Structures are given as structure tokens and as C-alpha cells.
Amino acid sequence: MFHCIQNFDKNVDVSWRGVSLRMYDSTCGAAASGQCGKAQPDGDAAPPREPPQAPLEQDYSGFDIVKATQYGAFLRVKELIEAGWDVNQPDRETVTLLHWAAINNRREIIQYLLAKGARVDAVGGELQSTPLHWATRQGHLEATVLLIRAGADPSLRDAEGCACLHLAAQFGHTAVVAYLVARGVSPDEADAGGMTPLMWSCWKVSAVDPTRLLLTLGASTHPTDCSHGNTALHWAILARNTTAISTLILYGDASLDVPNLRGVSPLMMLQSSADSLWVGAKVSDKIKEHTLASTKRHFLRRLTYDKKFRWWCVVVMPFMAFYLTGLVLEMEALYVVKAFLLVCFYALLHFISNILFDDELKNIFPLSVYLATKAWFYITWVVFIWGAVGWAPSLLFVLSSGALWFTFLRSWRSDPGVITASKQDKFKTIVALSEGGGGFEPARFCSACLLRRPLRSKHCSVCNRCVAKFDHHCPWVANCIGAKNHQYFIGFLASLVVMCVWMLWGGAAALTQRCARDDEAALLERALAAAGCDAWLVWVMLNAAFHLFWVSVLLCCQLYLVVCLGMTTNEQLNRGRYRHFQSRGGRSPFSRGPLLNAADFFQCGLCGLLPRRTRDWAAADDCDPMLPDHHV
């Protein structure tokens, strides 16, 4: 591996809103010459490599104090200052040493200069900026932390009227934005032109952050700037910033009707671009929904965008689809005709669902399918099966389904282990991570919820929340499966398997009683004969058999992961990304063997025979996950 040698002859000119600032950085000499990491042609033997040379020691003795500060030559800076150099003496550009140290993130020099009495809010340069302005513009979180802790004032404005938060927002430095707000800077603070940090982010940054971050921190979408009267949404549309537009409309509750000084609202700007490729599908739906809701014309079109109407369509459609499919199967017609009608019917349903359902409704559609299927199971049992099997089996069917509904409701409506924190707690976490030196490591910090992630937790993109001991998001119960409802989910799967077995047994008993039986016929002939005798009952049994198959597979997979491997579904799929799994070769550091894993999960110690391990997985802690046990 080649060593990177600092190229001290390279100057990098950085343009800051028309002002050129000289900044120094380190580069790899091999990369600069086009040789770093160059691949060998196929078929050619690579030449023998020379032993790596020791890194060259740079001679700083000829550097003046400004150049030594820029290059991070701490010993040279210390030598010159102890020889009598005034740390607050500006250079010919009226820039102090602290400015140069801040823009180059020279942390050791910053600490030394501050200890020697450097003015933390010294003003210099053509834009009359402070060292904190220079550090935040470059996104140097470490330098920003040192200056803030030394008493730097983040509310000071430069010559163009920008405070530090505005610079960090317009250059997309999310970590610096979070730290400044957590330290007390208002996320709605306007610059000299009335531009808020959110406006700058929407105008300049195409990534989701810091726009989403500012909204999470409490930034308002309502302020307008002084020159144009534009809101943040106006600026996002002018920049054709699709990400910012979606974030503001879908998650920031930005108004579409606020006019600017020219009388143009965001809705008017978007209506002319609703069919353009750069406007997302979700935003287009919101535009149409908002437009049609405000007019009395086009009743049918308004109905397709009415939230209540679409919600009831999601609820009713699976019930009707199940019933109409059974009616078609019971028709006295050729199987080819029935198949054609069913294909046309489901094509129509697919077309209607694409028109009516957005992503939110599609997420709850599987839940509606489950409820519709179970409802028809009960109706079928009462109408067709009860009389064939009698009271005792029917009573047992009802009692066993009681366990199904209890575990289903607990899986559906209970808290899966959502990790919550107050705004002050979030600010404390941001400050602690920033000042602790570790930064915002994605594995331990959620940038969407602004929370320190406990072990085994994950942010659910569907529910937009962090869940402790996250297993997966289940569309069939429309909820996350996590630390507080995983046991109920396992019980729900087991109860559903029992119910499907009951349905198949009861359906077979009813068919035996209602239909003539020919034991010598082939299996296919008997199936066709049963379908001709009672197509509805066969249709219900097919659904029960299908549910029995996939639920049994899911239940076995869940039990294998929980009991045998001691890990969640999320960990099994993403264990290559987690450090504590990588160090164990992909094995779970939380597993204690099948028996103890089962005792931990089901909280059953067999009257004290098995030692149980309890832990609050929602509590953030910094314990080493490699340890075999963490008792709480």
C-alpha cells in the first residue's frame, strides 16, 4: 500500500459567494500524477513492488506563521508565538490566525490559539466574517464545536447578512446545522434578506438533508423572504429541487396557496409543471387532490381524490373481490369462460387500485385482504360447515379463533417498541455526539428521528420511526414487529395456522356430507367434482390451504431465527453491515443457545429451571455488544 505524501506546494482557491479564499489541504502525490490505484492490463504480470518508503518529514522551519497555521504545522506555530508573535495580529487580508486554523480544521492549533488569548469572534476578510463563519461554511464540525465551546457567537452576521446557520444550511452541512440548532440557534432565524436556513437548504441543496433535519428540528415552512415574498416551497420549486418539494409537501405540511409578492402561489407554479418528469408522482397526486377539492366541478374526479372514499375502497374492495370470485366460480358455465371473466375482473380491480390507491393506502391493503379473508371464513363456517360438523367442533373453532384475534390485535395495535425522546433530549444527544468526537455514526444515530440508536434497533421507512429490537414491518398487521409485540406476532402466526387447519377439516367434512364421493376416481377428477358440487366451499378451502402454506413457512422461519440463531429478521438480512455480527463471522452475539434463547424470547423460565435474561432494548447504552451477557 502506497503512503500518501503531503503536497505542500498545492494551493486550493475556494470561492465564497464571489470572494476567493486560499485554503490548504493534503493530497496524494500518486493520485495527483494519475498513478494512484492504476490497474494492470489483463494478462500482464504486475512488476515486483518496491518496499514502501518511510514518509518524508516536512521541514517547516521556513514557514511564516500564517502558512504554518494553514498547513497545520503546530510546532512551528507554537515556536513563533512563544517567540513573541501576537495571536490576534491579522495578516494583510485582515484575517487572523484563528480564521486560517478554523477553515482548515486545525483542531490542535485552534485549541492552542484560544488558550493563548485569541479573540474567538475576530472579524476579518472581505466579508467581515468570524472564524466560526469560516468553519461552518466548510462544514468542519470539530472546529465549530471548539469555537462554540470557547464562546463564539453563532448569531453574528457577515457583510452579506448571513449567520453561521445560514452558511451551514446553504452548503448542506447537516451535522453542523444540527449542532448549531441544538446549541440554541433558532431554526427560523432569517438573514438580512429574510432568507431562513430552510429556504437556503431548499434553494441550494438537492439532498434530503438538511431540509428534513430542519423540519424535524422545528423549522417552519410559513416564513417569506423580504425581496420576493417566497416561502421555502417557492424556492424549492424555482430550483426544481424534487427532493425538497416532496419533503416540504409530504412531510413538512407546506402550504400550496401562499402567494409571493407577484401573487404567484406554489400551487400555480406546480400546476404548470405537474406533468414534468422532475415532479414526483406523490407530489402530482397532492396537486390534483388539492385542486379538485377546491372546486365543485368534476364530481367523479373529486371523488377519486377524496381520502375517506379511497380509504373505504381499500376496506371494501377485498371483501367484494372475494365474494364476486366465489360467485363466478359457482356459475354454470365452462371453465374457460369462468377463467376469462376472472381475468377481466382482476384486471379491472388492478386498474381501479392504481387510480385510487397511493402508497399509504397500498400499505394497509394487505391488512384489508387478511380481514376480508377471515370474515368470509367465519361466514362460510356458519352457513356451510356448522350443520355438517355439529356444535362441539364449531365451539372449539370459535374458542381457538379467540386466541387468533387477541394476538392479532396486540400485533396490530400495540406499541412495537417505538423509541421516543423529547426535543430537549434530542438536542442533548446531538450535542453529546458532536462534542464527544465520535460524530454522527449512522449505525448509532438516526438522522430522521434524531435519536441515539440502541442496539438492534432500526428506523422503519414505512412508519417513519425507530423501533427497538426491530424485526420487520409486517403489511398483514400494518405495524412494525419489534421488542414489545414480537411474541404476539409469533402467537398470531401459530393461531392462524390452527384456524386454517380447522377450515380445511371443516370444509372437507362438509363436502363429504354434501357431495357424492367416488374414492376410485383420480385426485384431479375428485377435485373437479367437488368444485362442481360446491364451488364456494372449494374456493374458501383453497384460500385456507394457501394461507396455511405461507403462514407455516413464515412461522418456521421466525422460530428458527429467534430460537436457533438468536437474531431478528433484520439482523439476518443485514448482518454484514453490523460490526458486532462481522466480528463473530455472521453469528449473533446475543445467542445463548436454543433453550435459553426461547426462555429469553417467551419470558418463560420453566419455574426457575432456565435462567431468563431481560433487557430494555429501547434504552440507549454503550455496552460492548461482544460480551456474552448484558443483564438489566
Name the DSSP class of 251: I
Question: Rounded to whole angstroms, how far apart are CA atoms 174 and 201?
Answer: 10
Which three cell numbers, joined as nine digits, stand for 124?
476579518
Give buried/exposed letters for 445-483 (b at 16+ CB in 10 A, else e): bbbbbbbbbbbbbbbbeeeebbbbbbbbbbbbbbbbbbb
Q: Is 474 a catalytic residue?
A: yes
Q: Cell match 398470531: residue?
A: 492
Question: Rounded to whole angstroms, how far apart are CA atoms 588 and 594?
Answer: 12
> Residue ranges of the alpha helices (H) in 436-568?
486-514, 523-533, 535-559
Rg (CA), the chain: 33
Question: Rounded to whole angstroms, how far apart are CA atoms 612 and 1?
Answer: 49
The kind and range of the H/E element at 23 are: strand 19-23
Question: Rounded to whole angstroms, how far apart are CA atoms 172 and 506?
Answer: 63
Q: Cell match 376469462: residue?
A: 340
CB 256 within 8 A of CB 285: no
CA dihedral 470, 476, 478, 483 (to 10 degrees): -30
- Going through 435-581 in order, the beta strands assigned E by DSSP cover 445-446, 451-452, 458-460, 465-467, 472-474, 479-481
Question: Rounded to whole angstroms, how far apart are CA atoms 64 and 131?
Answer: 20
Among the options 162, 460, 474, 500, which is catalytic? 474
Query: Is the C-alpha dihedral spanning 245, 250, 253, 255 positive or negative?
Result: positive
Could you tell me which residues are beta bridge partners of residue 273? none
Active site residues: 474
